[in-house]
Structure 1
Amino acid sequence: MQYTPKDGFPYYYSLVEDKELYALFSSNTNFSLLRSIDDNKGNYRYAADKWSIKQIIGHITDHERIKMFRAFQLSRKEVVELWGYDQNLLVDNARFDELSVEQLLSDLSNVRQSSISFIASLSPQQLQIKGNARTHSITLQQFLKSIIGHEWHHINIIKQKYLSFE
């Protein structure tokens, strides 16, 4: 079956499922691409109703914050809904376009370092704890990988729709 972003977890997980968890969170490839974007380019929108690159970076950070908190809850065996939040509401009520790309990437980097620290604290048994993402029963490890799959999805959009016209 071919998943789309509207499918949520299975789509994001399918982008990274065969990759090693720690390596996914430790990779600097996406950071390198985003660091090549200056503030002027960071304000670019390929259509009036689309987010700017700065807003996408902020959204990636928000997503990781939210999902890592839910991963923390699951790792402690708290019953929690792993998927779903109003991404447009969060972006609309942030000031991402007022911040520099450097500030946004610094924030993402800080969140990522916290994520890596949390992942390093998990046992193999904790990584196998199961939770639910909509209708899917998934392990904590799969859920964590989907966080980076979400990032890859947005990086691919940046490459295809924002940077392909340079």
Structure 2
Amino acid sequence: MNLTPKDGFPYYFELAKNNSVQFIFKEITTIETLQNISEEKARFRYRPDKWNIKQVVGHITDHERIKMYRAFQLSRNESVELWGYDQESLVKNGRFNELTIKSLLTDFFNVRQSSISFIDTLSEHQLNIKGMARQFEITLEEFLRSIVGHEKHHIKIIQEKYQLE
């Protein structure tokens, strides 16, 4: 199947593969890809209307923060719709360009460590709790998998369009 980001959760599930959520969260693709990038390169935009790499890293971190809170709610059986958010507003109002790429990657790493700590506390029963995310009924495990799929989506774009070499 040839899915795109417009397909939503199924696209992100596909990118996250079928490994355990514990395993996929420990593969920190963002840091591995960007740990040696220069500040100059981190400000690069492949088109004027696209985010630079610092903004992408900030967005990935914001996304994980938001989605992990929602995952926490679902894991506690709160009846909540796993709604979206305005990513453009969050990036616009973030301070990503004022921060170094190193500090943005450190923040991402810290958020990821918190996510892993939370995931390690979940039971098999909790991973199978279902909730609504837009028009999809998904399990907590699938919701968690979509977070890493989202990260992989952005790293793939960075590798293809941001001239890292």
Instruction: Please classify the TM superposition score into its range, dividing by the shorter chain length.
Output: over 0.9
User: Are residue 65 (structure 1) and residue 65 (structure 2) matched?
Assistant: yes
1:44 offset after TM fit, Å? Answer: 0.3
User: Are residue 36 (structure 1) and residue 5 (structure 2) matched?
Assistant: no
TM-score with structure 2 setting the length: 0.95
CA distance in 2, matches of 1:112, 1:65: 9
Contact in 2 for aligned 1:81/1:132 (Cα 8 Å): yes
2:147 corresponding residue in structure 1: 147
Contact in 2 for aligned 1:81/1:133 (Cα 8 Å): yes
1:157 corresponding residue in structure 2: 157
Contact in 2 for aligned 1:75/1:126 (Cα 8 Å): yes
Contact in 2 for aligned 1:130/1:137 (Cα 8 Å): yes
Residue type of the partner of 1:67? K
TM-score with structure 1 setting the length: 0.95
Contact in 1 for aligned 2:13/2:146 (Cα 8 Å): yes
Contact in 2 for aligned 1:60/1:151 (Cα 8 Å): yes
2:2 corresponding residue in structure 1: 2
User: Which consecutive unaligned segments of at least 5 residues does structure 1 have?
Assistant: none
Residue type of the partner of 1:8? G
Q: Deviations for 1:24-52, whole angstroms, at most 9, x for unmatched residues?
A: 11113431111021111000001111000
SS at match of 2:40: helix
User: Which consecutive unaligned segments of at least 5 residues does structure 2 have?
Assistant: none
Two-structure CA RMSD over aligned residues (Å): 1.2
Residue type of the partner of 2:41? K
1:53 corresponding residue in structure 2: 53
1:68 offset after TM fit, Å? Answer: 0.1
SS at match of 1:137: strand
1:18 offset after TM fit, Å? Answer: 1.2
Matches within 5 A, 1:1-166: 1-163=1-163, 166=165
CA distance in 2, matches of 1:11, 1:122: 24
CA distance in 2, matches of 1:120, 1:58: 24
Contact in 2 for aligned 1:25/1:112 (Cα 8 Å): yes
My pick for the range that moved more, 3-12 or 108-117, is 3-12
Indicate how the Cα distance of structure 1 residues 29 and 88 shifts in structure 2: closer, same or farther if over 3 A, else same.
closer
